[in-house]
């Protein structure tokens, strides 16, 4: 393993020596040493192109400057990142790139997170010797249903082209024209419709490729960013949730080499948070009175639900968990069913779309936590499964049903069966056919409004944090101390002044009902729930919110299975 010295400060000349694997490039070696070398075309998830020349460095015993992205290290190599030659070359490259770049910063969606802006400020010459008129190129060109291209802003780094070729495996983009007229376009007869097309927006180091839906909605400094999990399928991609005025505006991928690498599918990016912003959101508990659902206070609704369940024996009650709910929600529901209600009739629905799966990220299982629900015991041991529960409802043997965070009235037949129940209690985020049939409805918090863990299909446990504020934060402020509100408090306080919904986490709703029925189910936070289940369920043993961090950790048995394989 060769040792290479990276010299960042040209004054003292002292460098950081690191030992790296054979074949490592200078830019990666510098990153290991904690030194950033400016770059545009290089990306750790793509092949090397070496066409922007922004990463030029001076290497001792080499006659000319070398590009750090393509030059491999050798034993004893000494790299000067900020020597006079490297700095002057960097200024020249930036001046060259800016020759035809438009002055769009005041209206560009990339402003505030643009590499060209940052590098121009930190490495640019501060002036230009070019006095001629700038080239005019195509603007606002729709490359597909979700991506808009502005050729005048494009610096021709080719990241988007390489992504479509190498990662999406669907060559769609290419350079057209040549010389100073060159720009990017789709191949004749093709559009950018790939399920991963919007990753080119994240890859673009400038504002040339933009999100058609997000364009002109907000500036990056007006929004708060929170680490979360995409609930669109069993992959559980790591994302950043961007919020303004308590409304989610966009999701962007967050790097996790164990889950989704640098990418996310378009469907997850665009649709997995729709229910959070939905106009159909439930905002108050409801109780059926005189055949009509009417709004009620939390205490009244909780007491009504507890009283409604009291008359029934354990065999007359069934409970349905949810593959969309967190591990904490499902754990408390299972404890409620077994220890408080005494019923073994517990299960959850699987949500799979056969054939809708690929080799990159997308899974046929369209729920984020089926693995986790099973792992904490939301499955029949001696009781009835989902299909048997509906049979028992039809025969009149099951008279009360508790449904958590799922719409189970998918067919007319199921609607008719649910109507036969004496008591139907439902937690959900939005108004559904199931909530419309319920006797008691509780508005539950979505994935973006609470702490919660989710286990993806690989058995990896990941922590999602609250990005959207609720009235629960005001009621119990201590519950949110671990969230990104602490890290980005100023941005959150300034821009998240929108209306807050009157919702609670399902684990809290269920534990409150359980306490009214005589169970010992008082929890102060989702973290306390997780700590308890980590002690009682062997596969979670040793895990904690702190241990999960921002990349998660494998379940114990999932880790053991991986070692066996």
DSSP result, 443-512 = EBP-GGGS-EEEE-TTSEEEEE---S-BHHHHHSGGGGTTSHHHHTHHHHHHH--S--B--B-HHHHHHH
Instruction: Decide which of 277, 298, 317 is a domain's last residue.
Output: 277
Are residue 142 and residue 213 in the same domain, yes or no?
Answer: yes
From the CB of residue 53, how many other CB atoms can be counted at a distance below 10 Å?
A: 18
CATH number at residue 475: 3.40.50.740
Q: Is residue 123 part of a domain?
A: no
pLDDT at site 491: 47
Residue 504 belongs to a domain: yes
Of 277, 294, 323, at which residue does a domain stop? 277
User: Which residue range(s) make up the domain with 215?
Assistant: 103-115+134-277
What CATH number does the domain containing 216 carry? 3.30.70.20
Separation of alpha carbons 141 and 184, rounded Å: 10
Q: Do 288 and 440 form a contact (C-beta atoms < 8 A)?
A: yes
In a domain, 126, yes or no: no
Report the alpha-carbon distance of residue 462 to residue 548 in Å, rounded: 6
DSSP for 17-29, written as a single string = EEE--TT-BHHHH
Give domain status of residue 122, yes or no. Answer: no
**Does residue 30 contact residue 80 with C-beta atoms inside 8 Å?**
no
Q: Please check whether residues 75 and 141 belong to one and the same domain.
A: no
Low-confidence ranges of the chain (pLDDT < 50): 482-492, 562-565
Residue 156 and residue 60 share a domain? no
- Are 299 and 236 in the same domain? no
Rounded Cα distance, 401 and 426, in Å? 8
Structurally, how many domains does the chain consist of? 3
Based on the fold, state whether residues 487 and 346 are members of the same structural domain.
yes
Query: Could you tell me if residue 343 is inside a domain?
Result: yes
129: in domain: no
Residues 242 and 302 placed together within one structural domain of the fold: no
Last residue of a domain, one of 277, 304, 328: 277
Tell me, what CATH number does 88's domain have? Answer: 3.10.20.740
Whether residues 450 and 531 share a domain: the answer is yes
Same domain, 367 and 265: no
Q: What is the pLDDT of residues 364-412, one digit of tens each?
A: 999 999 999 999 999 988 888 999 999 999 999 999 999 999 999 988 9
Residues 50 and 80 in one domain: yes
Which residues make Cβ contacts (< 8 Å) with residue 351, sequence separation at least 6? Answer: 323, 324, 365, 366, 367, 370
Verify that 322 and 438 share a domain, yes or no: yes
Residue 247 lies in a domain: yes
Query: 263: closest CA among 367, 351, 149, 159?
Result: 159
Give the tokens for residue 159: 């990241």
pLDDT of residue 487: 44
What end-to-end distance do the CA atoms of the chain give, in Å? 29
Can you list the alpha helix ranges (DSSP code H) found in 261-385? 266-271, 274-277, 298-309, 327-335, 370-375
Same domain, 261 and 306: no
* Domain assignment present for 404: yes
d(CA 527, CA 390): 34
pTM: 0.92
312 and 219: one domain? Answer: no
């Amino acid at each position: 393993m060769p040792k290479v010295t990276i010299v960042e400060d040209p004054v003292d000349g002292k460098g950081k020596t690191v030992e790296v694997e054979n074949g490592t490039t200078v830019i990666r070696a510098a990153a290991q040493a904690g030194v950033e070398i400016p770059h545009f075309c290089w990306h750790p998830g793509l092949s090397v192109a070496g066409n922007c020349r922004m990463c030029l460095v001076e290497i001792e015993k080499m006659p000319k400057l070398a590009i750090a992205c393509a030059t491999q290290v050798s034993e004893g190599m000494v790299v000067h990142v900020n020597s006079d030659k490297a700095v002057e070359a960097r200024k020249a490259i930036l001046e060259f790139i800016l020759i035809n770049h438009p002055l769009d910063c005041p209206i560009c969606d990339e402003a505030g997170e643009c590499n060209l802006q940052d590098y121009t400020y930190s490495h640019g010459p501060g002036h230009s010797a070019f006095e001629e008129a700038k080239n005019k190129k195509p603007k606002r060109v729709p490359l597909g249903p979700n991506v808009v291209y502005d050729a005048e802003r494009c610096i021709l780094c080719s990241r988007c082209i390489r992504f479509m070729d190498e990662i999406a495996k669907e060559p769609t983009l290419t350079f057209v024209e040549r010389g100073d007229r060159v720009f990017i376009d789709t191949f004749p007869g093709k559009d950018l419709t790939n399920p991963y097309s919007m990753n080119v927006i994240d890859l673009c180091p400038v504002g040339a490729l933009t999100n058609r839906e997000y364009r002109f909605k907000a500036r990056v400094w007006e929004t708060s960013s929170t680490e979360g999990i995409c609930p669109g399928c069993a992959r559980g991609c790591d994302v950043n949730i961007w919020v303004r005025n308590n409304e989610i505006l966009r999701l962007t991928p967050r790097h996790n080499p164990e889950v989704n690498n640098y990418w996310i599918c378009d469907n997850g990016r665009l649709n997995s948070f729709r229910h959070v912003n939905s106009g159909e959101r439930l905002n108050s508990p409801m109780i059926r009175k005189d055949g009509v659902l009417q709004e009620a206070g939390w205490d009244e609704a909780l007491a009504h639900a507890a009283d409604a369940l009291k008359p029934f024996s354990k065999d007359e009650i069934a409970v349905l968990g949810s593959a969309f709910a967190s591990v904490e929600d499902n754990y408390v529901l299972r404890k409620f069913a077994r220890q408080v209600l005494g019923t073994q009739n517990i299960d959850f629905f699987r949500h799979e779309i056969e054939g809708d799966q690929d080799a990159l990220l997308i899974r046929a299982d369209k729920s984020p936590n089926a693995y986790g629900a099973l792992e904490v015991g939301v499955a029949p041991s001696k009781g009835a499964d989902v299909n048997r529960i509906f049979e028992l409802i039809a025969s009149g043997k099951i008279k009360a049903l508790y449904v958590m965070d799922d719409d189970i009235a998918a067919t007319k037949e199921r609607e008719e069966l649910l109507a036969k129940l004496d008591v139907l209690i439902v937690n959900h985020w939005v108004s559904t056919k199931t909530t419309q049939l319920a006797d008691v409805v509780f508005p539950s918090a979505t994935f973006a409004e609470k702490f919660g863990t989710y286990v993806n299909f690989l058995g990896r446990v990941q922590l999602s944090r609250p990005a959207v504020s609720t009235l629960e934060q005001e009621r119990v402020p201590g519950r949110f101390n671990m969230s990104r509100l602490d890290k980005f408090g100023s941005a959150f306080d300034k821009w998240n002044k929108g209306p807050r919904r009157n919702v609670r986490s399902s684990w809290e709703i269920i534990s409150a009902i359980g306490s009214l029925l005589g169970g010992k189910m008082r929890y102060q936070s989702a973290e306390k729930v997780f700590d308890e289940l980590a002690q009682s369920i062997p596969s979670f043993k040793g895990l904690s919110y702190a241990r999960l961090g921002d990349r998660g950790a494998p379940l114990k048995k999932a880790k053991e299975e991986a070692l066996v394989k």
